[in-house]
């Protein structure tokens, strides 16, 4: 059984072609992926409603996490294997390039624990830094 099928099984989800296709695309990318990219890549294999439901289910189950880019567009990345529907363990820094608009998960930069005042319960934490990624910085440097 391939790793995507095992991941779905671990989270109690059926192994449907749309789910397997979405996981395969997301896991193959080095950056967080907007829904519009997935729509184009999947073409006629998955309709828009099924894609939306799949992303929502994956997010609820702790398979994906959602990052909003500087334009407010939702981007998705595969979570840590430790994540579940009850707890996310991948609270890390995100980097949004202002040139190419790609969103990178900076897994190695963990967010410190945040102690909220009594009566406040955190749902998720998201810290995004905007700037220029390595690729865009190299391109800009080569033009000068």
Contact (Cβ atoms closer than 8 angstroms) between residue 75 and residue 67: yes
Q: Which of 58, 31, 36 is nearest to 48 (CA)?
A: 36
Q: Which of 65, 54, 127 is nearest to 90 (CA)?
A: 65
The pLDDT score that the predictor gives to residue 126 is 79
Chain segment 24-47, per-residue pLDDT in tens: 999 999 999 999 999 999 998 899
Q: Which residue has the tokens 């996310």?
A: 88
Structure-token pair, residue 43? 């073409």
Kindly give the confidence (pLDDT) of every residue in the chain, 144 residues in length, as a single tens digit, with 9 standing for 90 and above: 488 899 999 999 999 999 999 999 999 999 999 999 999 999 988 999 999 999 999 999 999 999 999 999 999 999 887 777 877 766 789 999 999 999 999 989 988 888 999 999 887 777 899 999 999 998 887 765
The pLDDT score that the predictor gives to residue 112 is 85
Output the CA–CA distances (angstroms, integers) from residue 4 to 1, 14, 60, 78, 141, in the order listed.
Answer: 8, 11, 17, 11, 39
Contact (Cβ atoms closer than 8 angstroms) between residue 55 and residue 76: yes
Q: Which fold has domain 3-142?
A: Arc Repressor Mutant, subunit A (1.10.10)
How do the domains of the chain map onto residue ranges? Answer: 3-142
Cα(144)–Cα(140) distance, integer angstroms: 7
Cα(53)–Cα(105) distance, integer angstroms: 23
């Amino acid at each position: 059984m391939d790793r995507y099928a095992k991941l779905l099984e671990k989270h109690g989800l059926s192994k449907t072609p749309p789910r397997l296709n979405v996981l395969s695309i997301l896991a193959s990318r080095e950056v967080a992926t907007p829904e519009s990219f997935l729509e184009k890549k999947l073409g006629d294999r998955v309709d828009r409603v099924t894609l939306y439901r799949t992303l929502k289910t994956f997010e609820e189950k702790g398979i994906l996490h959602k990052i909003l880019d500087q334009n407010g567009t939702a981007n998705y990345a595969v979570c840590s294997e430790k994540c579940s529907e009850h707890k996310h363990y991948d609270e890390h820094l995100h980097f949004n390039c202002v040139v190419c608009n790609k969103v990178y998960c900076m897994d190695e930069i963990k967010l410190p624990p945040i102690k909220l005042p009594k009566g406040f319960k955190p749902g998720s934490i998201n810290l995004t830094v905007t700037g220029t990624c390595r690729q865009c910085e190299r391109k800009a440097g080569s033009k000068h």
